[in-house]
A and B are shown apart, each in its own frame.
Chain A
Amino acid sequence: MLADYGYIGLLLIVAIFFAVTTLLIPFSLSLPARLAIYSRKFRHYIQTRWPLLARFIPPLPSPPKFMQIVPYNPSPVKNSTFECGMETIGKSWVQFNFRYYFYALVFIALDVLVVFLYPWAVELRGLGFSGLFAVLIFIGIIIVGYIYAWKKKVLEWK
């Protein structure tokens, strides 16, 4: 039994490793392009700030074009928030009423009910009718709250 959890833990490590590697491959392929951009920016900075000094600094090596497999060429327009051509007004990280606060409350109550039903479901034949009655009482309590929520129009998306 413990070995099974060991398998799952090891699979978790493999899954994370796979996902991270998949993201790191294009990043590492874009490193030459990034280097080229940064060296050009550095050159530009030096030349505009200290043109006299720039004469004595040799140009930084820029990777050849064929090594720049994954392009990297950010610009303020490209990196702006996409909104179908319109300019974004304000931030997105604001409070807004999404109406599912009550759903979350009802969810918590019902989810606890469901988790308690699982062990009963496995041992149904052993527990017999007494187990079923106990579960019925349990469900009944939750159902009262559910009907109350329905009557209070909590379940309406308005």
Chain B
Amino acid sequence: MATQFLPPDWPGNFWAHWAVFTVIILVFLLLTVMAFIWFERRAMAIMQSRLGPNRAGPFGIFQPAADALKLLIKEDVVPAAGDKVVHWLAPVVAFVPVMMVFAVVPFQGGALLADLNVGVLYIVAISSLTAVGIFMAGWSSNNKYSLLGAMRQVASVVSYEIPVVLSLIGVILLAGSLSLQQIVQAQEIPFILVQPLGFLLFFCGALAEINRAPFDLTEADSEIVAGFLTEYSGMKFGLLFLAEYGEALAISAIVTTLFLGGWRGPLLPDWLWFLLKVGAVFFFIVWIRTTVPRVRIDQLMALAWKFLFPLALINLLVTAVEILVWPDVSLWLLVPVNFAVMIVLVLLWSKLFKLGWGRVNV
């Protein structure tokens, strides 16, 4: 069924399919992460009235490649007091799950490595494993900043896992499937319009899980130097950095697939639509980073447990009731209803109690 979108001369062979898509995933990951690093630095520079990297190549586009080469020939400093084996293994453990996520993301109709029928569950399970690598990195460095950063990472992943997973259920209810391919096919209109609250909750939680600003407490530069990255240098640092940006890329791809209609779009070729949407989501992440100040750790935890989790549960039940009460109604009718539900709930819930801002007496 999945092969109907592929060209007619597609080799149906197991090994050919595997080889082609493994190369595609690897190249896509590396090139897009490099492009994203350049894009983030340039976009942030423009937003902050700076120039950004502009020496290596036109507009500095070779800057990430130059940085990678520099990291490759740097001396590898391992703290004498640290656990050397775990210190070495941590970047591997952090990177591997990031790459595994892309196995089920469709780049185009049918163009994906493995069309799992438990795709969303697979993504949820795999993507949270990066926290193990980050905790290994923080613990093995035997540095107090590293350990604090790693502890914060574990705490935030434990807290944000639940709202993220719950807000995805709204999409699954609408699509009636866990396969990412079928979820994209079910999106006559992008699910961001039908599930605005779900998107909001998922995006907040995802930003916290991949520790991007404003939830980047794991490596908050002004508090704990660089968190778990403090004792890393050379290619180990490079691999952890790659894993981090790969996570941002993975989140962009998942948001694109689940909420923005994946590869679907008029006129342009499908894969180009996918890339454009991924880039747009990443630009949104960068935009948030330059706009919103960092939250405090108690605010981070309060946001997950008191705001995102109850709203995700309510959103899930509202969606389920809507689907059961109006089984045959057009999705367009749900758009205004769900937007109204989102506005009312967010306003009410934020007036209901304080999330922990203001002074805290510790």
Chain A interfacial positions (CB closer than 8 Å to B) = 1, 3-8, 10-12, 14-16, 18-20, 22-23, 25-27, 29-30, 69-74, 76, 78-84, 88, 91-93, 98, 100, 103-104, 106-107, 110-111, 114, 117-118, 121-122, 124-125, 128-129, 132, 135-136, 139, 143, 146, 150, 155-158
Contacts and interface: CB of A to CB of B under 8 A. Distances in A.
Contact of A117 (B74, B99, B235, B316): B316
Given A11-B99, A14-B22, A18-B99, A114 B166 contact: yes
Contacts of B122: 8
Given A11-B103, A79-B77, 20 more contacts: A3-B114, A18-B99, A23-B92, A70-B74, A72-B75, A76-B80, A79-B79, A91-B81, A92-B141, A92-B146, A111-B162, A117-B316, A125-B324, A125-B327, A132-B320, A132-B321, A139-B317, A150-B306, A156-B298, A156-B302
Given A15-B99, A114-B162, A7 B155 contact: no
A22 to B, nearest CB: 6
B290 interface: no
Contacts of B113: 7-8, 11
**Contact-residue bracket for chain B:** 35 or more
B155 A103 contact: yes
A81 B76 contact: no
A27 B77 CA distance: 11
Given A8-B114, A14-B22, A103 B77 contact: no
Task: Decide if the interface of chain B is mainly helix, strand, loop or mixed.
Answer: helix
Which 8 A-B residue pairs are closest in the complex by CB-CB distance?
A157-B298, A4-B114, A79-B80, A15-B99, A7-B114, A19-B92, A121-B172, A100-B155
Contacts of A69: 73
Contacts of B161: 107, 111
Interface in B111-153: 113-117, 120-122, 139, 141-147, 151
A16 B96 contact: yes
Nearest to B312: A114
A73 B75 contact: yes
Given A15-B100, A19-B95, A82 B231 contact: yes
Task: Decide if the interface of chain A is mainly helix, strand, loop or mixed.
Answer: helix
Contacts of B117: 1
B191 to A, nearest CB: 14
B305 interface: yes
A94 B165 CA distance: 33
Nearest to B15: A10
A92 to B, nearest CB: 5
Q: Which of A11, A100, A158 lies at the interface centre, i.e. has the most chain B CB atoms within 10 A of its CB? A: A11
B14 to A, nearest CB: 6
B21 A7 contact: yes
Interface string B75-100: 11111111000001001100110011
A158 B361 CA distance: 9
A124 B73 CA distance: 55
Given A15-B99, A157-B301, A124 B320 contact: yes
B35 interface: no
A16 B92 contact: yes
Contacts of A129: 324
Given A7-B21, A11-B22, A118 B169 contact: yes
Nearest to B116: A4
A19 B79 contact: no
Nearest to A142: B313
Given A7-B18, A7-B21, A20-B92, A158 B143 contact: no
Contacts of A30: 75-76
A23 B323 contact: no
16 contacts: A18-B26, A18-B99, A19-B239, A23-B235, A26-B235, A70-B72, A70-B73, A73-B75, A80-B81, A81-B141, A100-B158, A114-B166, A118-B178, A136-B317, A155-B301, A155-B302
Interface in B301-350: 301-302, 305-306, 309, 313, 316-317, 320-321, 323-324, 327
Q: Which of B72, B103, B305 lies at the interface centre, i.e. has the most chain A CB atoms within 10 A of its CB? A: B305
A26 B72 contact: yes
Contacts of B231: 81-82
Given A132-B321, A132-B324, A124 B176 contact: yes
A9 B18 CA distance: 11
Contacts of A73: 75
